[in-house]
Structure 1
Amino acid sequence: MIVLNENLKDKINSYLNKLKKSGLSDKSIETYKNLLNHFEIWAEDYGLLLDNLVLMETDIEKFIDYLKSKNLSPTTIKMVLNRTKELVEFAGGKWLADKRIYRKRSQTESAKPYSELELKQIFNHLKITNKVYYYLTLTLYGFGLRVSEAVQLLPDDIIEKENQIFVRVRPEISKFNKSREAPLILKGEYRDDFIDFIVKRKHPKLKDKTLFTYYNDVQKKIITLDRHNVKSYFHLLSKDLGINITAHRFRDTYISYMVAKGIKPITVSKWVGHKDVNTTLKYYTKLTTKDELEELQKI
């Protein structure tokens, strides 16, 4: 627990004044102030006082949980933590946490698969509000792709073999420069919508364009999705729906679905393009309860 005599707001102002004197722009100062406002609010609620300022790892874990509860993006959370650490050290205190704590908690959060209800909420919302991202999320989940792979797909990368739909990931867009194929797991209306989308995209005039290149009526120009604008959009969507939405969670859900179906690890590893089968095996050890397996089998 932290105890401080001086008001935390005064400490923050002193820290910001120091940065201003060092030549930091007014815009940057305002950004830092907004980031540190999260710490100020949390510190008051948590009961932190300001003397002998020492934040233990347990304190920082609780602060991270607070930031996540505000639906802040991982990037924003990292910025808040970095600025808070600087503030604590400026005030003569100690920040007793290894950087691995952020990475470990972030990976734990992102690796949690979507529930059936969450997927339906996301798909149904996007089907009405944003068709481009609707088809993107169907693609991410349906094939278990990395977002960097999905946004570079061409219409002819979606193929049919033995009455099954597959994606063909070209070497130049895969993470490890190795081609692979993976089956589509979409069902019902979502599968039908995806197939209709692909049929339209295979039109001769569109075949050379990536699947997620489109004309934006508002900006009056052609837009090609990339992983950066996808990340930004999902951050906003998370706030709208109250769900932690990341592109990688669709991939995690695909893998977890295969685990629940009893597919062999070596096969799943091949489909999703893991460099090492041990990466795939981690999903088999995480999904151990009967309830988790039954939930995923419903999807």
Structure 2
Amino acid sequence: MDRLLDLWLKSLSRAKSQRTIITYKTCLSTFQKHLGEGKSLLDVEQGDIYSYIDSTDLSVSSIFTHLSAIKHFYRFAFRRGWLDKERYSDLESVIEDIRDEFSTSRLQKSPRALTKEELQRIFQSVRNTRYERVYTLFLYSGIRLSEYAKLSGEFFRKDPEGIYWLRLPAEITKRKKERVVPLIGPTKEESLEISQKLDLWLEDYERYIKVKAGSLQVFTNRLSQKLGIPFSVHSFRHTYITNLVNAGFPAEVVKEFAGHSNVKTTIDIYYRFSQDRAKNLVKSFLR
């Protein structure tokens, strides 16, 4: 372990300023202390990074700095053969999930859901590709990238009403709590249409829906730039949750489907007053 740390610091000295080197070294040391003496940096799991961020009182900008240092270290370890690709991909996806979530809180506004027009353009660009199926899963389940990285076909089941449900075991979720979510869209018709597609795709999950998390992020970033639409994989999660809110689901239900730590988080982020949503709820009540 000491050998790896020495090599990492030597690599930093060739590309980073002295100030950055000191900062990154301090960040990694703090993370290592959080893990405790009984755990090596190379034995880190997704939950360790979540618990580290959840336990800190750092500002958002400082959290981003710590995440950058941690990611830089693990990328170095992966490229030098100290860490396998699957483990690095898992850790990278967690870091990006956390960055996305804190970017939302930093802006102090509701996360932006993708519009119908934006979704049409995105899905038109990936039509008849594996990315169409992957984006569909994210859009209709609201899962996190780190959760997707651990999914398999056995986690899906179809209920008598024709709707698929996804069971996320505790060991792959952010809060280490099992979660069960419906794969639904803004309307019943759209939800059933997606179920029909899943009937085929889930016959061979690995073939139809599985993509490495790192490749998915790179592809999505490039597509975002190409289309001129500011979105990430996490944007589909925001859209899913927003659809639940607009459909009138109670906050405590949305909180469970989203996997938030408490209902206050759900309310503060997603339940800000919307005139359009209010009108639609009144119309629904009068039917």
- Give the TM-score, by structure 2 length: 0.55
In structure 1, the residue matched to 2:212 is 225
In structure 2, the residue matched to 1:145 is 143
SS at match of 2:166: strand
The percent of aligned pairs where both chains have the same amino acid is 24
SS at match of 1:238: helix
Q: 2:104 touches 2:111 (CA, 8 Å); kept in 1? A: no
Which structure is higher in strand share?
Answer: 1
Q: Deviations over 1:223-246 (max 9, x none)?
A: x411x3222211101111110111
Which structure is higher in helix share?
Answer: 2
In structure 1, the residue matched to 2:42 is none
Please point out which of 248, 257, 272 is paired with 2:243.
Answer: 257
In structure 2, the residue matched to 1:121 is 121
Q: 2:202 touches 2:208 (CA, 8 Å); kept in 1? A: no
Please point out which of 258, 267, 275 is paired with 2:253.
Answer: 267
SS at match of 1:255: helix
Unpaired runs of 5+ in structure 1?
A: 1-21, 30-73, 79-101, 214-223
In structure 1, the residue matched to 2:275 is 290
Q: 2:184 touches 2:190 (CA, 8 Å); kept in 1? A: no
By how many angstroms is 1:275 displaced? 1.2
Q: 1:147-296 alignment to 2 at 5 Å?
A: 147-163=145-161, 164-186=163-185, 191=191, 194-203=194-203, 206=204, 209=206, 212-213=209-210, 224-226=211-213, 228-286=214-272, 288-291=273-276
By how many angstroms is 1:158 displaced? 1.8
By how many angstroms is 1:152 displaced? 2.4
1:280, 1:177 → 2: CA distance? 18
Q: Deviations over 1:49-105 (max 9, x none)?
A: xxxxxxxxxxxxxxxxxxxxxxxxx99xx9xxxxxxxxxxxxxxxxxxxxxxx9578
Q: 2:110 touches 2:270 (CA, 8 Å); kept in 1? A: no
SS at match of 1:168: strand
Q: 2:167 touches 2:180 (CA, 8 Å); kept in 1? A: yes
Q: 1:128-139 alignment to 2 at 5 Å?
A: 128=128, 131-139=129-137
Q: 1:144 touches 1:250 (CA, 8 Å); kept in 2? A: yes
1:105, 1:239 → 2: CA distance? 23
SS at match of 2:139: helix
1:294, 1:127 → 2: CA distance? 34
Q: 1:166 touches 1:184 (CA, 8 Å); kept in 2? A: yes
1:193, 1:181 → 2: CA distance? 20
Provide closer, same or farther for how the CA distance between residues 294 and 254 of structure 1 changes in structure 2, counting only shifts above 3 A.
farther
Q: 1:255 touches 1:283 (CA, 8 Å); kept in 2? A: no
By how many angstroms is 1:285 displaced? 3.9
SS at match of 1:198: helix
SS at match of 1:127: coil
Q: Deviations over 1:132-158 (max 9, x none)?
A: 111111111101111111232211222
Letter in 2 for 1:290: Q
Q: Deviations over 1:199-218 (max 9, x none)?
A: 33444xx46x48633xxxxx
Larger Rg: 1
By how many angstroms is 1:198 displaced? 3.2
- Give the TM-score, by structure 1 length: 0.53
Pairwise CA RMSD: 3.7
